[in-house]
Amino acid sequence: MYAYILKRLLLMLPTLFGVICITFCVIQFVPGGPVEQVIAEMQGKGARGGEAAASGGAYRGRQGVDPKQVEEIKKIYGFDKPAPERFWQMIGQFARFDLGRSFLHNKSVWALIKEKLPVSMSLGLWTFFFVYLISIPLGILKAVRAGSRFDTASTFIVLLGHAVPSFVLGVVLLVLFGGGSFVQWFPFRGLVSSNWEELSLLGRITDYLWHITLPVTAMVLGSFAVTTLLTKNSVLEEIHKQYVLTARAKGLGEGQVLWRHVFRNALIPIMTGFPAAFIGAFFTGSLLIETLFSLDGLGLLSYESVIRRDYPVVLGSLFLFTLIGLFTTLIRDLAYLWVDPRVRFD
């Protein structure tokens, strides 16, 4: 097992390097980089006394801009160096876990991620816990009562929730309960109220839960189907195996057969994905949900960084999330040993 772990750790290095290399190369051919955007803003401010005119503020390349000024802008953003030199300089920074500094926010990428992380953690962790707490018992109950009206009705409901996009459901919830055309039981923006610091501990908890209810509901309802149906199918598969028939022949009750024999084996495919899902929940960023409910999280940060060509944020967050993804994949594979001791990596 230790040889397997060492091999997987060594394979992470070329994988991580390849992801960063491909992304960096693609970025070099994307038009409208930070230098071009600054030049376009300068040209726009030069029209009509500081405001862009309807036609005069359009981007005209580097026409009318002093070449020395262009070189100064390039130097500020580090584009005065050749691409290979910038790439290896970036790799050296990443090796020291220095993710760079944002062009747009003038902050370190680490500081930006820490600043946006609470919103994404709130969405991801609540969604994760509700999905697992409801889907697994529901899947077991569906397997036990397979073919019944309850099984058919619950399957229809979870598949309907899976078919409706989360942002559409979010709009419906806002219209119904967020001050739309009906009632305003919940706030429609922000993670906490503006006077949150002045509230008591109980008031803060209540205010936070009040704000997070609608966005978490929108994300949760569409996430039940996969885990629920996977649990149901796993339990059904185990129920029809020979060892279950043997346990019943020995006189064990259905409850003992289900919980002592079927339950553990059926949850192997569910529990092996649990570590990756749990760690991934900390970094879940939903752009549409965050935009809809005015939540400033990692999803909105990633989208804004791509649109505004904030390359340090794009590459730094990609490096961090890829590294986390590689480690969680390794943890998921090692979880097989904990759930099923019969697994051998050789």
pLDDT in tens, 225-247: 888 988 899 888 888 888 888 88
Average the pLDDT over 197-222 and give the result. 88
Could you give the 3-state DSSP secondary structure of residue 108?
A: strand
- Number of helices (H) and strands (E) in the chain: give both, helices first: 17, 0
Q: How confident is the model at residue 59 (pLDDT cuts 50, 70, 90)?
A: very low
Round to whole Å and give the CA distance between 18 and 7: 17
pLDDT band at 284 (very low <50, low <70, confident <90, very high): low
Question: CA–CA separation, 305 vs 87, rounded Å?
Answer: 19
Q: What is the pLDDT of residue 55?
A: 40
Domain 109-339's class?
mainly alpha
Query: pLDDT at position 285, please?
Result: 62
CA distances (Å), origin 310, targets 53, 111, 118, 297: 26, 15, 22, 16
**287-326 per-position pLDDT tens digit:** 788 888 888 888 888 888 888 888 999 999 889 888 988 8
pLDDT tens sequence across 267-281:
777 777 777 777 777
> The pTM is what?
0.77
Give Cα 119 distance to the centre of its chain: 11
Alpha carbons within 13 angstroms on the beta-carbon side of residue 242 total 0
More confident residue, 210 or 250: 210
Q: What is the rounded CA–CA span in Å between residue 166 and residue 30?
A: 31
Give the pLDDT confidence score for residue 180 in this predicted structure.
Answer: 65
Residues in the chain: 346
What is the reported pLDDT for 65? 66
Q: How confident is the model at residue 10 (pLDDT cuts 50, 70, 90)?
A: very high
- Is pLDDT of 37 > 80? no
Cβ atoms of 281 and 125 closer than 8 Å:
yes
Residue spans in the chain of domains classed CATH 1.10.3720.10: 109-339
User: Residue 109: is it exposed, middle or buried by C-beta count within 10 angstroms (0-12/13-18/19+)?
Assistant: buried
Q: With 70 as the cut, is the pLDDT of residue 186 above it? A: yes
